[in-house]
Structure 1
Amino acid sequence: MTDPIYLISSKNNVFIWSANDWLRLRRDHRIIGELVGTLPKSIRQDVFPGLPLLLFPEEVTLLVEKKIACVVQCTNLEKPPTESLYKKFQEYTDTLLIEQEERLIEFRKQQVTSKMGIIVDGKKRKILGLHTNKKNMKKPLDRKTQEALDSIKIDTESLLEEELAKLPKLNKNEALVQTHTAHPWFIKDDVKIVDWKYPLIPVDQQLTIRYKVYKDLWERKYYITSGEKFGGDFLAYPGDPIMFHAYYIIQCKCKNEEMPIAALITQCRVSCNVRKTLVFATYCEEEDKVKYQSFQWTQSNTLENGLKND
């Protein structure tokens, strides 16, 4: 049996920090959430967000109900780091600095080796008092000068060592900083499983409808994201949103809720312009069933609706 995924609760929000857990939720369970962090190598851009993943309440409720995940709090984050943890962190950063120095030397070694022929030729020209700029090095030499140039022997190993010695020592302030997407020294004893209650108590009818609709769409194998950008509650996709556009804009409604015709027309026109179908979803407590009603704007500018219930 697969271990449950830990959903990290922090200040009334629930996050996923682990890249492996993010991939598992998206690939195996169609949980999308919203990435709210920055990319480690491009921290100043704001087009492509990175971890952590902020989960919507409906997603958390579903994962807990299906026993896919559990909500936890990291107790060690509620208090200052211990002396042993601080020491471990210092040792870790020192190790990273050494590894980066080694990688820098290796990279420089590859650079020098790939340009060794040009470097050797330049050294020989300096010995003979010849110009070493690019323009003069491209000009052919007379026979006597070329023979003198060829007769000079350069120790490439010593030359390589000489070039590597020019590298300045890497300072701690110049070292790359690793952005962790999970606790590097995670201990299971440091987490506490907490109760997750949604909808809130006393029960909020609108939140209940939202969750029932979300759960029903998820069980119908749709990928679901927030529909706020199109004025809806959810967007329903036939596949991963990376590869597919949404088919439906979902509006969660109470079964006796009234709606002005002008607002209905406005929402239908919006959904038509973005090439999606507007769907009103209602939860019927008596039948414990979600019912859907779709609306589309026809070519003759009349409102066409059809009841689509299973």
Structure 2
Amino acid sequence: MAVAGPSSSKATPRRVPISILPPSSPGSDPISLVWSPNDVLYLRSQHRIMGILTGSLPLLPQQNAYLGVPLQLMPEEVQLLLSRDAVVLVDDEEAHAMGPSREEWQRWSGEREKERREERRQSAIQAREHRIAFEEALKKGKGAKAAKQDAAEAGGSTPAVAEPTEEELRLIAYSHITAGASDDLPWYSGPNKAAHDRLVSLYFSPSSHTTRSLVFSSLNSPPYNYFLSCGLRFGGDFVAYPGDPFRYHSHYTLTVPKDRNEGIAAGKLIADGRLGTAVKKVHVLATKDERGEGIDEGEGKPIFFSLTWAGFGT
């Protein structure tokens, strides 16, 4: 087997655009959204980033059991992806601020109208061809059921039919597709370096990195390679899976104290331990080890303490 040598030029890394919306309330985190299904799959398969799907399904907008794009990311997920140079931040308000000019809107809406007219035209022609084939099959003495089958098999092999009139076209229904992202809109400005740098300094600068960010980054990266998601459902900050959640159950729930020096009440430890047993997971306390060299530069490593009830086998 031939082994390829090192490439002379490095391939440009893929950077997923993340739309950033300002915090919904003072003191809360910004809203980070991924709109492309391909980007959602890429983040999950290559970076073990799951996020939370928050969009309704186009055909079933009234239900909330199954959701679609956009994918909303936690701040810790965005910070990890920024450290890997895997994303570019987009100021969503700025990207849509200009809006279309009159000429752009007329050109864009005109193209959509042409597409709708062509769809209606094709529907009308196919309906006429099907009707002609059905009538010819009936004339040959076939039953209605056999005639319908022959008409369906005939497809476009029937003689050319007359073009439908504008009045006929207006009566024909057409499909409406709402774009899932703004990338194809001519007036959408998209990513730019100035907006990316501003958003990083505003929301995701190194000074904003917390112990939660350190714990998340450590468990998501080698040698652990865990998938992590929000752990509120199981009473923690994070819930950790040893592999993709489509294939594995979670093993751990993690709580990250805001300050390792504030102490943890005995009742809190008991409650966390009982909760871990109830949901059949090991409850883990995670914090930053502030001992040793390099602490002044923020190089503390995460440390973990698991809660286990004696005799319960958790």
TM-score (norm: length of structure 1): 0.72
Are 2:105 and 1:94 aligned?
no
Match of 1:63 in 2: 81
Pair 1:211-2:216 in alignment: no
Q: Does 1:2 align with 2:6?
A: no
The alpha-carbon deviation at position 93 of structure 1 amounts to: 1.9
Q: CA deviation at 1:51?
A: 0.8
Which structure 1 residue ranges, 5 or more long, are not aligned? 126-131, 135-155, 305-310
In the alignment, the residues of structure 1 paired with residue 124 and residue 139 of structure 2 have an alpha-carbon distance, to the nearest angstrom, of 22
Q: CA deviation at 1:239?
A: 1.3
**Do the aligned partners of 2:285 and 2:306 also contact (CA within 8 Å) in 1?**
yes
- Say which is worse superposed, 186-195 or 1-10, in terms of deviation: 186-195
Give, as a single letter, the amino acid of the residue that structure 1 aligns with 2:37: A
Measured after TM superposition, the shift of residue 195 of structure 1 is 3.3
Give the C-alpha shift of residue 177 in structure 1: 2.4
Give the partner amino acid of 1:100: E
Matches within 5 A, 1:6-85: 6-11=17-22, 12-74=30-92, 75-85=94-104
Shift of 1:295: 1.3
Question: In the TM superposition, what is the alpha-carbon distance from 1:188 to its structure 2 partner?
Answer: 8.7
Deviation at 1:212, TM superposition (A): 0.6
Structure 1 residues 8, 199: closer, same or farther in 2, change over 3 A? Answer: closer
8 Å CA contact 2:15–2:85 kept in 1: the answer is: yes
Q: Which residue of 2 aligns with 1:256?
A: 261
* 1:178-199: CA deviation from partner (whole Å, max 9, x where unpaired): 1222221368964332332487
**1:45 Cα deviation from its structure 2 partner:** 2.0
Amino acid of the structure 2 residue aligned with 1:181: G
Match of 1:232 in 2: 236
Deviations 1:159-182 (A, max 9, x none): x969x99x953559x533212222
Number of equivalences: 268
From 224, 246, 251, the counterpart of 1:242: 246
Q: Deviation at 1:100?
A: 3.0
CA RMSD in angstroms, aligned pairs only:
3.7
Of residues 195-204 and 183-192 in structure 1, the stretch that sits farther from structure 2 once superposed is 195-204
Answer whether contact 2:100 2:186 (CA < 8 A) is retained. Answer: no
Q: Is 2:305 aligned against 1:293?
A: yes
Counterpart Cα distance in 1 of 2:19 and 2:231: 24
Q: Cα deviation per residue 1:134-175 (whole Å; 9 max; x = unaligned)?
A: 9xxxxxxxxxxxxxxxxxxxxx958x969x99x953559x53
Separation (CA, whole Å) in 2 of partners of 1:87 and 1:258: 64
- Which SS does the other structure have where 1:28 is aligned? helix
- CA 1:105–1:274 in structure 2 vs 1: closer, same or farther (change >3 Å)? farther
SS of equivalent to 2:246: coil
Partner Cα distance (2:126, 2:311) in 1: 64
Of 272-281 and 177-186, deviating more is 177-186
Q: How many angstroms does 1:294 deviate by?
A: 0.7
CA distance 1:290–1:101, shift in 2 (3 Å): same
Change (3 A) 1:61 1:133: closer
Instruction: Map 1:127-206 onto structure 2 (within 5 A).
Output: 157=158, 169-170=169-170, 174-182=173-181, 183-185=183-185, 190-192=190-192, 193=196, 194-197=198-201
Match of 1:275 in 2: 280
Cα distance in 2 between the residues matched to 1:14 and 1:234: 18
Unaligned 5+ residue runs, structure 2? Answer: 1-11, 23-29, 146-156, 293-299
SS of the equivalent of 2:200 reads coil
**SS at 2:91's partner residue?**
strand
Q: 1:6 to 1:265 in 2, by over 3 A?
A: same
The Cα of 1:116 is off from its aligned counterpart by 3.4
**Counterpart amino acid of residue 176 in structure 2:** V
Query: Does 2:234 correspond to 1:223?
Result: no
What amino acid is aligned across from residue 213 of structure 1 in structure 2?
A: V
What SS does structure 2 have at the residue aligned with 1:217?
Answer: helix
Structure with greater Cα Rg: 1
* Alpha-carbon distance in structure 2 between the residues aligned to 1:242 and 1:24: 15
- 8 Å CA contact 1:280–1:294 kept in 2: the answer is yes
TM-score normalised by the chain length of structure 2: 0.71
